[in-house]
Amino acid sequence: MIQLAIEIPYWGQSLLRVLGGLVAVLLPAGTIVYLFLFKMMSFMQSRLGPMEAGPYGSLQLVAEVGKWMQKEDLAPEAADKSIFKIAPLVVLLSTFLLVVVIPFGPDALFTDFEVGIFYGLAVASVSVLGILIAGWASANKYSLLGGLRAAGQLIAYELPMVLATLGVVIQAGSMNLQNIVVAQNTGEIFGWGGIGNPYIFTQFIGFLIFMIAVQAELTQAPFDMPIAESELVSGYMTEYSGFRFLIFFIAEFATAGVFALIASVLFLGGWGIPFDWFGWDTIDSVDNWMNVAGPLIMFTKMLVLTFIIMWVRFSFPRFREDQLQTFAWKVLIPLALANTAITAIFKVVF
Amino acid sequence: MPEKPKVPGLFKGLGVTLGILKDTIVDGANTVQYPHEKEAPPIRARGVIALHEDNCTACMLCARSCPDWCIYIEGHKQLAPPRRAGGKPRQVNHLDRFDIDYALCMYCGICVEVCPFDALFWSPEYEYSEPKIADLLHDKEKLGEWMETVPEAPELEAGAQKK
């Protein structure tokens, strides 16, 4: 993971990876919940949000987690107990699987995966299974409807997301996320390499589609049909309480963070700064301090992107179910296909 | 008049939320952090009902008109010394008990309106919650203490008739 002078035994490396994974998933989740869900949302409604627990309510999260932990772990009598209990873990698992491929620095990565983005998009859909299981196993009409809506929505928006990613993959010529980062930071815009070539410029349509699809994948408003509280109580989460609800809650915001990290890798240049600035030319010549600066850069980009996600979430009312599907199938997917085709043509011609 | 360029509603909406975010950061929130700072209620706010015991004649009008039956009055007749020397002793109603159960009260204010002797007043005081629901039954001593918080009646408007 991190190149140190001393040799770390295999178990030590694994331990470091597990700890790193926990930090990479839980730290963004906590930051998003406190900074955006508690504070920014309150400020947008002209109130201050939590102020009592810790300075400016910064320990509110600890209190919330404590509250959820001490609640009773209820399961409905008719529920399919064992899979009812597994479902939230499946959802969270997909987040942990997703974070594995994200590079945080030249050497600060969990695994250098040749088909990284392919794998990432594949495991991202594991959460659909968890949500469907939760909806079915709860033995509750609201849960079932919520689960079905979630499945329909996630499948519909997975397609534009994949197609939007395809543009980046074509342009970078690699599915490896590390190579995509390097390609952006060594690239040039029409012969000018001052800021590298973050794909947000060339793939702006792709970026827009990706962010919209992410919004829908995370079931954040205006795409929160699956947990529409005015119709479905709380959708697939209706029957969950205590610790298992907490897992769903963490998974929602951890996934927001991880998707923002992936988006920053794909479109904003990831951990890198343009290699020209320090006279690096390949990944091997990058200085070691980037292993510390890289995660910080990634974290900043993640915050910017989640700010946009949350801003949109707090501003817009919910889509109607048919509008939601129409938007995915009739607008986003054709647009993403066209984007992919044009990118491919440009790649071949130039 | 030159037409303003049309901003799509989507961006307008984002602008509204961002604008309020900015306002809250710059000017502070519209809310009050209650236990630390208190809101000053308007002087005619319906906080609690105060009893001016000397004016009460135990006529029971308030208790009978209360929609929630939350006013309990008990009294007895007794003789009071005559007003003028040589007169007969007067018969007066003495108030033994005057309770308002604020657990039942719905703050309609009918009792205050109906009182013919100006014995009941609205006070804007609102901090009298209790850990035990039974403690919300205020007896006449407690209702009398609220009289201190009753604000002065505002000046009548010019030309208004005073009874």
Residue B116 placed within a domain: yes
Residue A91 placed within a domain: yes
pLDDT tens digits along A89-136: 888 888 888 888 888 877 777 778 888 888 888 888 888 888 888 888
Question: pLDDT value at position A191?
Answer: 64
* Whether the predicted pLDDT of A277 surpasses 80: no
pLDDT-derived band of residue A58, with 50, 70 and 90 as boundaries? confident
Which residues does chain B have with pLDDT short of 50? Answer: none
A46 and B CB contact within 8 Å? yes
Q: pLDDT averaged over chain A?
A: 83
B91 and A CB contact within 8 Å? no
Residue B102 placed within a domain: yes
Search chain A and give the residue with CA nearest B19: A44
Residue B119 placed within a domain: yes
Total number of domains in chain B: 1
Q: How far is A85 from chain B (nearest CA, A)?
A: 38
CATH of the domain at B78: 3.30.70.3270
Total number of domains in chain A: 1
pLDDT tens digits along A303-323: 999 999 889 888 888 888 888
- Which of the pair, A192 or A240, is modelled with greater confidence? A240
Structural domain for B110, as ranges: 48-149
Residue A42 placed within a domain: no
- Rounded to 5°, the CA angle A26-A289-A308 comes to 40
Average pLDDT over residues A158-165: 89
Average pLDDT over residues A192-206: 76
Q: How far is B20 from chain A (nearest CA, A)?
A: 5
* Ramachandran category for residue A190: left, alpha or beta (phi over 0 → left; psi -120 to 50 → alpha): left
pLDDT tens digits along B101-145: 999 999 998 999 999 988 899 998 888 888 999 999 998 888 888
Q: Which residues of chain A lie closer than 8 angstroms to B13, CB-CB?
A: 315-316
Residue B30 placed within a domain: no
Q: How far is CA A319 from CA A45, A216, A329, A344, in A?
A: 21, 11, 14, 33
Question: pLDDT value at position A1?
Answer: 44
Q: How far is CA A244 from CA A22, A54, A97, A240, A321, in A?
A: 18, 26, 19, 6, 27
Average pLDDT over residues A6-35: 82
Q: Which residues of chain A lie closer than 8 angstroms to B31, CB-CB?
A: 46-48
Question: pLDDT value at position B110?
Answer: 92
- Whether omega for the bond prior to residue B5 falls within 30 degrees of 0, making it cis, is no
Search chain B and give the residue with CA nearest A40: B21
Q: How far is B63 from chain A (nearest CA, A)?
A: 42
Residue from the list A47, A314, A316 with its beta carbon closest to the beta carbon of B31: A47
- Rounded to 5°, the CA angle B37-B41-B42 comes to 150
Residue A8 placed within a domain: no
Question: pLDDT value at position A240?
Answer: 86
Among A39, A44, A56, A327, the strongest candidate for a mutation testing the B interface, having the largest count of B CBs within 10 A, is A44
Question: pLDDT value at position A284?
Answer: 72
Average pLDDT over residues A52-63: 85
Residue A17 placed within a domain: no
Q: Which residues of chain B lie closer than 8 angstroms to A48, CB-CB?
A: 24, 29, 31, 33
Q: How far is B136 from chain A (nearest CA, A)?
A: 28
Q: pLDDT averaged over chain B?
A: 87
Residue A10 placed within a domain: no
Of the listed ranges A143-152, A199-208, A286-295, B33-42, the least confidently predicted one is A286-295
